[in-house]
């Protein structure tokens, strides 16, 4: 492309009003991107500034003097003849007739006072409406009374149920307190038994030990007595215990006498030193340990 043509294009770009908003650095950068040298860019800027100055002077002079006004000559107003008056009268009469007809058809019936039949019809309609409203009001009152009675019954039922529940809860609490007291007493008794049981066992052991000691002492005394008699001493037989006396037949047959002889207690067996029972009837013949 010719360099002069590039310069002309650059002048046109710089003279374009849309490019006036851009800065000078942006314009120079754009022209350098298009391939213009620094001298060509300066020449284009100088030509663009000269062209902008001439354009501004021309617009200023045109604004001062302004264009010459162009006025059209208005024709003089004409005179009305009889035909114009006739047309005007016909149009005015038609408009007036239409307005009067519309007034009589749509406005006049509403402006006239209503007749007696209209009053009676309105009265009957109002009476019917009042009767319907009164019947509806009575129905509403009846429904309200029924609802009120139902609510009262429900409230009394709820109160009874609440009282029953409160009584049941109170009874449960009392039974729970009673159960706790009983459990506390049982626990206290079990604790006392648990504490007293070792003491009772120890005391029982002491009593048994004391009884065994006394029995051993008696056995030792009996042994010493048997040894003191010696082999040459005639043995005195130990009297045997008599058997339990029986009741005579004449006492069993008699119905008046009810007395019976008391039974003779049998002798209790003794224990030797080894903890075995020793029959007192066989004591002389028993071996002495």
Residue 126, token pair as written in the block: 């109002």
For the chain, the average pLDDT equals 74
Residue 16, token pair as written in the block: 């374009």
Among 86, 16, 89, 11, CA closest to 48: 11
pTM: 0.26
Confidence of residue 108 (pLDDT cuts 50, 70, 90): confident
* pLDDT value of position 49: 77
Which H or E element spans position 169?
A: helix 116-229
Instruction: For the chain, give percent helix, strand, coil, nearest 5.
Output: 70, 0, 25
Q: Domain 3-64 maps to which CATH number in 1.10.10.10, 3.90.1150.10, 3.40.47.10, 3.40.190.10? A: 1.10.10.10
Residue 156, token pair as written in the block: 């009394």
Q: How far apart (Å, rounded) are the C-alpha atoms in residues 66 and 60?
A: 10
Is 31 buried (19+), middle (13-18) or exposed (0-12) by CB count in 10 A? buried
Q: How far apart (Å, rounded) are the C-alpha atoms in residues 161 and 167?
A: 10
In contact, 32 and 41? CB cutoff 8 Å: yes
Q: How far apart (Å, rounded) are the C-alpha atoms in residues 56 and 214?
A: 156
The pLDDT tens digits of the residues spanning 47-80 come to: 877 776 656 555 544 444 444 443 434 444 456 7
Q: How far apart (Å, rounded) are the C-alpha atoms in residues 282 and 63?
A: 174
**Packing angle of the helix pair 3-15, 38-65 (nearest 10 deg):** 40
Bridge partners of residue 277, in order along the sequence:
271
Which residue has better confidence, 220 or 254?
Answer: 220
């Amino acid at each position: 492309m010719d360099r002069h043509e590039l310069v002309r294009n650059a002048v046109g770009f710089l003279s374009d009003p849309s490019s006036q908003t851009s800065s000078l650095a942006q314009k120079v950068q754009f022209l350098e991107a298009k391939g213009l040298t620094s001298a060509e860019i300066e020449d284009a800027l100088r030509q663009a500034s000269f062209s902008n100055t001439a354009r501004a002077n021309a617009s200023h002079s045109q604004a001062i003097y302004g264009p010459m006004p162009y006025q059209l000559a208005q024709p003089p107003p004409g005179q009305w003849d009889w035909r114009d008056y006739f047309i005007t009268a016909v149009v005015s009469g038609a408009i007036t007739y239409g307005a009067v007809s519309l007034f009589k058809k749509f406005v006049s019936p509403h402006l006239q006072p209503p007749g007696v039949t209209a009053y009676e019809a309105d009265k009957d309609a109002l009476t019917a409406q009042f009767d319907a409203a009164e019947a509806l009001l009575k129905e509403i009152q009846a429904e309200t009374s029924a609802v009120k009675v139902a609510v009262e019954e429900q409230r009394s039922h709820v109160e009874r149920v609440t009282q029953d529940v409160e009584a049941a809860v109170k009874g449960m609490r009392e039974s729970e307190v009673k159960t706790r007291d009983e459990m506390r007493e049982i626990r206290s008794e079990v604790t006392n038994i648990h504490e007293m049981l070792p003491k009772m066992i120890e005391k029982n052991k002491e009593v048994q030990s004391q009884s065994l000691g006394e029995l051993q002492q008696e056995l030792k005394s009996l042994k010493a007595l048997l040894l003191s008699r010696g082999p040459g001493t005639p043995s005195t037989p130990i009297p045997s215990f008599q058997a339990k006396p029986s009741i005579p037949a004449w006492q069993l047959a008699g119905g008046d006498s009810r007395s019976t002889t008391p039974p003779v207690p049998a002798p209790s067996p003794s224990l030797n030193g080894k903890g075995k029972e020793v029959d007192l009837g066989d004591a002389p013949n028993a071996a002495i340990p």
